[in-house]
Structure 1
Amino acid sequence: MAVAVVTGASRGLGRALARALAEQGWSLVLDARGAEALGAVAAELDGPVVVLPGDVADPGHRAELVSAARGLGGIDLLVNNASVLGAEPLVPLAEQSLAGFAEALTVNTVAPLGLVQAALPLLRESGGAVLNISSDAAVEAYETWGGYGATKAALDHWSAVLAQEEPALRVWSVDPGDMRTAMYAAAVPGDDDSGRPLPEQAAVPALLELIGSAAGSGRYTVSGRTVKEWTR
């Protein structure tokens, strides 16, 4: 049975993707900061599920995630989904807290690389895949999204380099498109997001298509319920 590690799995895209993977028969190791919310997700799922509340910025917690996956048989898919905004609501760069920016860099960029490094032996054994959740803010200049977008731009770049250095793995950086999530509501609380799809309506079907495909490493974007390779 294939094994996936999914970070940030207590809500939004992470929760919806975990549910979909479980329905396809994957064994799961799930992470989030909130123990209660993460436990509620696990209660919804059938099959082998290990929940480990904690902070991906903590090296010890990352080691626990990898150890749990090893206990289930290895790692076939590592989903780096956990993210923070750096400011809630988002603010112009002139007002961006440097402490908030540093936290966003740590959680969104440094911690995912740390988790990949810890998981690499198991990923190499399985010839597995790394799925890094990015954003259009990584490549477009949107007012107030500068801090968050910079962290995702860095994530995109090291994803591309990792793909060159680990050619036996598939390394995907994916912009999931517009979604109605608690994170977006926190980022832009005055915006009407009722027209945005829920993660399970568009992003998750597209990600499942990518995961189940023979698509090579690269940066992808969700378009409708499918993915396409990103080009500027």
Structure 2
Amino acid sequence: MPVAVITGASKGLGRALGAALAGRGWDLVVDARSAGPLEEAARGLRRAGARVVALPGDVADAAHRAELVAAARELGGLDLLVNNASVLGAEPLVRLEAQPLDGLRAALEVNAVAPLGLVQEALPLLRASKLFAGSASSPHTGDGDAPSSHTGTESSKAPGSGGAVLNISSDAAAEAYETWGGYGAAKAALDQLSAVLAVEEPGLRVWWVDPGDMRTDLYAAAVPDDDGSRRPLPETVVPALLRLLDAGAADGRYAAPGLLDGVR
């Protein structure tokens, strides 16, 4: 069975994606900072038939990152690494004149430094993966499409040459929104790291995805005056992420809206 590591998997998009992968027969290593909510999420994943290793901890901790990769190795390898864990750097968000510098450091550490550290730890397993072997496009039976709204170069990578890295980004990485400067800077750093990783690791598929604003605890903490009721639930974004897998999509940045429109 294919194996995925998903950070920030106790709630929101990480939990929703984990449930979808478990339903497809994936085995999972999941992480979050709070042990109770993580174990609750893991129980639901196990009910879907997945083997699940739930490891509470902080992705900013190198020892914890090594533990996540070791758990994947015990499950048989690593085919998909999902860097989803995130912090804002200030709650609620504030203008740059009031941005706590310690908060900015934390945002950079969790949103950019930790994902790179986890990639570094996981590279041997990702390089050995045969995620797309046996198909010109997909490890699963799908509709052949993946998200459009794509920036980057067309992939010439051969199927079966390695695993995939999915980094969850934000439109704040590419647009200038008042009060989103610290968080946006951290996600912009993640985008650039992702783009360079795609060039340096031609055997991997590397996707960095802006899922759009969602009805999550993170968004509520960022903008508490917005009740979020008009924001889509994270579950509505998951089909687009699955279609990246189903299509073996080209490396690049994928962004909402239009995430479900088709693929290059």
Give the TM-score range, shorter chain.
Answer: over 0.9
Counterpart code for 1:139: A
In the alignment, which residue of structure 2 is the partner of 1:194?
Answer: 229
Change (3 A) 1:229 1:175: farther
Matches within 5 A, 1:10-29: 10-29=10-29
How far apart are the structure 1 equivalents of 2:263 and 2:8? 24
Q: Is the 8 A contact 1:219 1:229 kept in 2?
A: no
Helix, strand or coil for the counterpart of 1:82?
A: coil
Helix, strand or coil for the counterpart of 1:50?
A: strand
Q: Is the 8 A contact 1:31 1:38 kept in 2?
A: yes
Change (3 A) 1:228 1:148: farther
Structure 2 alignment gaps of length 5 or more: 130-161
Helix, strand or coil for the counterpart of 1:155?
A: helix
Change (3 A) 1:226 1:112: same
Count of aligned pairs: 229
* 2:134 is the alignment partner of 1:99: no
Q: Is the 8 A contact 1:30 1:50 kept in 2?
A: yes
Q: CA RMSD of the aligned region, Å?
A: 1.4
- Which structure's residues are more often helix, by fraction? 1
More displaced stretch, 110-119 vs 39-48: 39-48
Change (3 A) 1:102 1:112: same
Matches within 5 A, 1:13-162: 13-45=13-45, 46=48, 47-126=50-129, 127-162=162-197
Q: Is the 8 A contact 1:56 1:111 kept in 2?
A: yes
Q: Is the 8 A contact 1:206 1:222 kept in 2?
A: no
Displacement of 1:172 in angstroms is 0.5
Identical positions, percent = 70
More displaced stretch, 171-180 vs 108-117: 171-180
Displacement of 1:222 in angstroms is 3.1
Displacement of 1:140 in angstroms is 0.3
Counterpart code for 2:239: P
- Of 200, 212, 232, which aligns to 2:246? 212
Q: Is the 8 A contact 2:249 2:263 kept in 1?
A: no
Change (3 A) 1:229 1:104: farther
Counterpart code for 1:182: D
Counterpart code for 2:205: R
- Of 215, 223, 229, which aligns to 2:257? 223
| TM-score normalised to structure 1 length | 0.96
| TM-score normalised to structure 2 length | 0.84
Residue by residue over 1:211-232, the C-alpha shift from the partner in whole angstroms, topping out at 9 and shown as x without a partner, is 22121111111335616679xx
More displaced stretch, 73-82 vs 205-214: 205-214
Matches within 5 A, 1:148-187: 148-187=183-222
Look at both structures and tell me which one has the larger radius of gyration over its CA atoms: 2
Helix, strand or coil for the counterpart of 1:10?
A: coil
Residue by residue over 1:156-213, the C-alpha shift from the partner in whole angstroms, topping out at 9 and shown as x without a partner, is 0010001000011001000011211110000000013111110002x11111111221
Change (3 A) 1:85 1:217: same
How far apart are the structure 1 equivalents of 2:175 and 2:118? 27
Larger RCO (CA under 8 A, 6+ residues apart): 2
Structure 1 alignment gaps of length 5 or more: none
